[in-house]
Amino acid sequence: MKNYVKIEKYINYFFWTFVSFTIFLISVFLIKFNILNKNLKYFLILLFSIVNLFIYFNIFLHIKYKDYKSYYNIITIIFTLIIIFIIIFGSRYIMLSLHSNTMVNKI
């Protein structure tokens, strides 16, 4: 019985890895071949990336959303994303501010 549970776990991992890879390939083909219009293509790529993110959290990082022990891991990931957001957009704001304030008027 124990081996059956282990095999079922591996089959589950294989299935979700295959789904993730398939979503990745669909995203690549959406970008390479202009089949859909621009807005729908961006929406689908964003949707596929969010689905892949949840698959990666579940399979590779072993963060289960129903498990209370993973609560602190999820908080840590959210805090890290907030810090990265602040760094990236703060740097962008500083660069745009410096660019607009140091423009030399052409005579």
Annotate 20-39 with b (16+ C-beta within 10 A) or e (fewer).
beebeeebeebeeeeeeeee
Q: Where are the domains of the chain?
A: 1-62, 65-107
Mean pLDDT of the chain, nearest integer: 84
Judge whether residue 106 has pLDDT over 70. no
pLDDT > 70 fraction of the chain, expressed in percent and rounded = 89
Judged by average pLDDT, the poorest of 30-34, 43-47, 81-85, 89-93 is 30-34
Specify the pTM.
0.63
Judged by average pLDDT, the poorest of 1-5, 63-67, 71-75, 88-92 is 1-5
Judge whether residue 98 has pLDDT over 70. yes
